[in-house]
Amino acid sequence: MNHPTGHQATDRQLVELVLSGDRQAFNRIILATEGLVAQIVFRLIPNEEDRKDVAQDIYLKVFHHLKGFKFQSKLSTWVGRITYNTCLNRLEKKQLDYFLAAERDDDGKGEPSTLVFRAPEETDQRLLRKELRELIAIEIGRLPPLFQTLIGLYHQEDLSYQEIGGITGLPEGTIKSYLFRARKMLKETTLSSYKKETL
């Protein structure tokens, strides 16, 4: 078999290489998915030491279950699904609730609007944008873990609703509703915090 290198390897080729004993191929799977894994683990697991254990557990599971991967989704989505479920299992063991304030609510209508902040004309625009980015990052960290995860997957990992559904098992309509509510909460808390800081 030819050994594809770099980005030339398809999911199927990488899996076949790993199953044939190629350790470098598994390292490439890790490199290709570690951003996605970190995004989910960081948002759902609050304790730093737990995060390290969970990440190791995730890739052990990926390695041991790779022969059962059926190529019905992208490999990264499958790894994301293992990551998400592993995090939920850890939360259940620790008796933590990943929903917290994210109770089910499917009556969100229409496409969620994007966050828009209008800056005073006399304010330095670059400084204000930097302050807002920092403030938004802080406020995202205060959202319920599920909302943080969905925002990270959609806005930072650029995953589609379908891909996020493949990872979380949530219907697309629910994902849209949760993202709508997450953005609404984020906009309200960010604007509130910004007003307090400018007083």
Residue range(s) of every CATH 1.10.1740.10 domain in the chain: 6-93
74-80 mean pLDDT: 93
Please report which residue ranges of the chain form alpha helices under DSSP H.
Answer: 11-19, 23-44, 48-65, 75-93, 125-140, 145-151, 161-168, 172-198
37-62 mean pLDDT: 88
Residue range(s) of every CATH 1.10.10.10 domain in the chain: 125-198
> What does the mean pLDDT of the chain come to?
76
- The share of the chain scoring above pLDDT 90, in percent, equals 32
At the topology level of CATH, where does 6-93 sit? Rna Polymerase Sigma Factor; Chain: A (1.10.1740)
- Torsion angle of C-alpha atoms 157, 162, 168, 170, degrees rounded to 10: 140
Q: How confident is the model at residue 3 (pLDDT cuts 50, 70, 90)?
A: very low
What is the CATH class of 125-198?
A: mainly alpha
The per-residue pLDDT for 168 is 93
Do 128 and 119 touch, CB atoms closer than 8 A? yes
- pTM summary value: 0.65
